[in-house]
């Protein structure tokens, strides 16, 4: 290398070093890590919080532990228990403390002062709890309430792994279908039926609940009975602690007069323990 070339290299070397330094800084991420211009795929997913409704136990509303008895007679209304201290019908969780079984059902006031345990249960409740006729069992009955709880919500794309919900979630089922009936196959050229208009009501409790059932077929049978009587029932599936149950409701009623007439018609079908509910 001659003297002229050596002198030119000496003069341009500082500019080359500055350009290399700027290139290295451009490859750093927000944390100062040299990433060669690649996106950081391990960034934490942003999360927000939303409120969801779930069923929670409300012992302050009603809770009792006592002997329960099924008298051996078949009963309507699905899963229910009755106690003399009840003022208003409630939705409750019923536990058989002898074997650990539990079921969701309705709680009613025990009108007649009969001898025996304070808790009287229906035939469906006895079957779900594995209680024999005439054999008292230790039961715990606790009211359930809908409550808003915080649940994390991911703003990014959902992951492939889905975990089961920890509490009650509710979805509406088709009351016309049952477990034994195959699903109908629609024709390829058939057009979808228009959805029915959503009914609204200003009543606080516009629906009538005719029963809570631990077996879907029994719920569908009761719904079909309501439909044959000219009413529009809905079967709603719920789940708590992995155990499913089905509620059958009729409505909503638009006015108090319509609600009273609906309740009278339902009781005339044999569901004497039916009562008004909000949903």
CATH numbers and ranges of domains, the chain? 52-146 (2.40.40.10), 168-180+200-279 (3.30.70.1070)
**Higher pLDDT, residue 97 or 187:** 97
Percent of the chain with pLDDT over 90: 39
* Mean pLDDT of the chain, nearest integer: 74
Instruction: Tell me the CA end-to-end span of the chain in Å, nearest whole number.
Output: 92
Query: Residue 273: is it exposed, middle or buried by C-beta count within 10 angstroms (0-12/13-18/19+)?
Result: buried
What torsion do the CA atoms of 120, 124, 130, 134 make, to the nearest 10 degrees? 40
* Pair of tokens at residue 162: 């889905």
- Name the one residue in this structure whose structure tokens are 């994390």: 152
Q: Does position 141 have pLDDT exceeding 80, yes or no?
A: yes
Q: Does position 193 have pLDDT exceeding 90, yes or no?
A: no
- pLDDT digits over 165-184, tens only? 334 434 333 433 333 444 44
Report the alpha-carbon distance of residue 38 to residue 88 in Å, rounded.
Answer: 64
Q: Residue 194: pLDDT band by 50, 70, 90 thresholds? A: very low
Q: For the residues 41-59, what does the mean pLDDT come to? A: 62
pLDDT at 189: 41
Query: Nearest-5° angle of CA 151, CA 154, CA 158?
Result: 120
pTM score over 0.95: no
Report the alpha-carbon distance of residue 232 to residue 222 in Å, rounded.
Answer: 12
Question: How large is the C-alpha radius of gyration of the chain?
Answer: 32
Q: Does position 192 have pLDDT exceeding 60, yes or no?
A: no
């Amino acid at each position: 290398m001659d003297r002229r070339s050596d002198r030119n290299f000496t003069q341009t070397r500082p500019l080359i070093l500055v350009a290399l330094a700027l290139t290295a800084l451009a490859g750093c991420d927000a944390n100062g890590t040299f990433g060669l211009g690649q996106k950081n795929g391990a960034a934490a997913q942003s999360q927000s919080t939303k409120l969801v409704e779930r069923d929670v136990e409300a012992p302050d509303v009603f809770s009792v532990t006592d002997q329960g008895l099924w008298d051996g007679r078949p009963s309507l209304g699905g899963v229910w228990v009755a106690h003399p201290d009840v003022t208003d019908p409630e939705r409750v969780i019923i536990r058989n403390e002898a074997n650990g079984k539990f079921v969701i059902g309705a709680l009613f006031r025990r009108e007649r002062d009969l001898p025996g345990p304070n808790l009287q249960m229906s035939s469906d409740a006895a079957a779900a709890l594995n209680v024999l006729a005439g054999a008292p069992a230790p039961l715990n009955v606790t009211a359930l309430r809908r409550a808003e709880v915080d649940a994390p919500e991911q703003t990014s794309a959902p992951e492939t792994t889905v975990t089961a919900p920890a509490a009650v979630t509710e979805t509406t089922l088709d009351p016309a279908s049952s477990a034994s009936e195959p699903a109908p196959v629609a024709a390829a050229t058939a057009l979808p039926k228009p959805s029915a208009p959503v009914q609204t009501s200003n009543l606080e409790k516009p629906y009538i609940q005719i029963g809570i059932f631990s077996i879907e077929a029994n719920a569908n049978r009761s719904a079909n009975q309501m439909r044959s009587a000219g009413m529009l029932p809905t079967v709603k599936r719920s789940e708590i602690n992995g155990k499913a149950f089905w509620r059958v409701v009729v409505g909503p009623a638009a006015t108090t007069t319509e609600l009273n007439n609906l309740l009278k018609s339902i009781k005339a079908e044999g569901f004497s323990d039916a009562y008004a509910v909000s949903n």
